[in-house]
Amino acid sequence: MSNQRLHKLIAQAGVASLRKAEVMISEGRVKVNGQVITALGTMVDPSDDISVDGVSIYGQKTFVYYLLNKPKNVLSTASDDRGRQTVLDFVPNDVRLFPVGRLDKDTLGAIILTNDGQFANLMMHPKYEVEKTYEAIIVGTLTKSMHEKITQGIKLEDGMTRPATINFTQFQKDKGTTIVSITIHEGRNRIVRRMFEALNVQLLKLTRTHIGFLGLDNLPVGHARVIKPFEIKKLKALVK
């Protein structure tokens, strides 16, 4: 479906005239996928979550939420102009979904897909510091100094990391590797990878296992499941 001008979609939905729709936009009363839009002439997809004064222009909308165990080499985007696999290739396509945040191409694990723009923006907002837990397989072991730096903060090119929590480490003597479980409270790009790079630690595999309390459990790689209503309620409670 091709993009259309936002004020025209509002008018077509019978909410207001073209001129009044422009006024509503300029007054900051219109949201698209949970974000306030004030620029006149903005182009949007008609299937986007569009609301005026908090009410959908299409009436009551049914929201869906999926938890995907993202495989490696899959992009955390809604589409790709080079035809590469994206996270949307692993869920039903009867509803237009988008990912909540991102995992880099080489990282596996938990990512939420939804059509609820407001929920997505709250989950990604740095104000709420929704924790995320990763399992990292590294070469060698973590020294005491490395452990302290992770838990106290590491200086990166874009500033200090927030203190992270190391939940456990398990040394695999036969492989010369260590499994590290680490929980972070920020969403900067490739933050966990950059933390290990700053410590000169070779990272072999990185998997996000939890978003808040929501874990992969036995969900196979490349599979998605519907997030249960009580789980959505608990997730929303994290960002109130």
Active site residue 217: no
Q: Within 10 Å of residue 10's Cβ, how many Cβ atoms?
A: 23
Interior angle at CA 95, CA 92 and CA 96, nearest 5:
105
Outline where DSSP puts E strands in 61-162: 65-70, 98-100, 108-114, 132-139, 155-156, 159-160
Q: Is 145 helix (H, G, I), strand (E, B) or coil?
A: helix
Identify the active-site residue in 53, 80, 104, 217.
Answer: 104
Q: Within 10 Å of residue 119's Cβ, how many Cβ atoms?
A: 20
Beta bridge partners of 214: 211
What are the catalytic residues? 104
